[in-house]
Structure 1
Amino acid sequence: MRTIDFSPLYRSVVGFDRLASLLETAAADAATGYPPYNIERTDENAYRIDIAVAGFRPEDLNIEVKENLLTVQGQKPANDDARRYLHRGLAERNFERKFQLADYVVVESANLADGLLSIALKRELPEALKPRRVEISTQPTAPLIEGAAAQAA
């Protein structure tokens, strides 16, 4: 596989260092490809990430969210000395998969079933950012001046 060096970008993109590091992280994640995953939009503001983690138990997995970065780690204990494989097709190797979350996206839950780790995400906009409807009034908004109202009568 070909690797791309993003270090020259850091010299010329002052203030955009986060963007350059996101590009570098995305390129590194695309190179490994393990474990495979799906990202599904289940509702207008709800998402689900399914990660294939065959052979991992819940205590072997760690899910952490920090500063809009969702990190999923899998660590298998090294106790293969007692086992003698004729064919080993399940990878079961340690991994770390990172997902950059948009603003206001929170992790609701995680579930492990049938070798799939499902992580439910939801976008929760604060009330100040939600669109609201403004009613249009037909009443005059400027108050009448009492002296001018008396002279007109």
Structure 2
Amino acid sequence: MTETADLPQTLTEIVEDFHAVSERERLELLLELSRELPELPETYGGNYHEQMEQVVECQSPLFLAVEYDDDANTAQLIFSAPAEAPTTRGFASILQQGLSGLTYQQILDVPDDLHQRMGLAKAITPLRLRGMSAMLGRVKHNIRQHQGQRAG
């Protein structure tokens, strides 16, 4: 079992779910999670490309928005990925479920090797795994940038 002590509770549960099934079933679990990615809020409507940031490191078109609650120092993650990109949608769903509602610091404290802890190395190409790493990296970058703007 992989180390999860330094992960937030929801991410710990997701990682443990992946390790509770065989390597073959992990891809199915990822596809199941892809179907759980919420639809975009109406506020993003049809012009989400203009309101959201594209994570260009992903092989499939993935768009990200981070909504901040500075009173609570928490963030909500919003992702858009096409249905034809279930791996990308699965990774986005993991991050959305595992990080939304956490404090800025809790998100920043998530280890950068989260994508490796999922146990998907044999089921997913390294390039796709790096896409998940890029998503997390972009979320953290945006939070740090937001914190810097607030401090400045």
What is the TM-score when the length of structure 2 is the normalising length?
0.29
Larger % of helix: which? 2
Name the structure, 1 or 2, with higher relative contact order (CA <8 Å, separation 6+): 2
Larger % of strand: which? 1
What is the TM-score when the length of structure 1 is the normalising length?
0.29
Find the structure with the greater CA-based Rg: 1
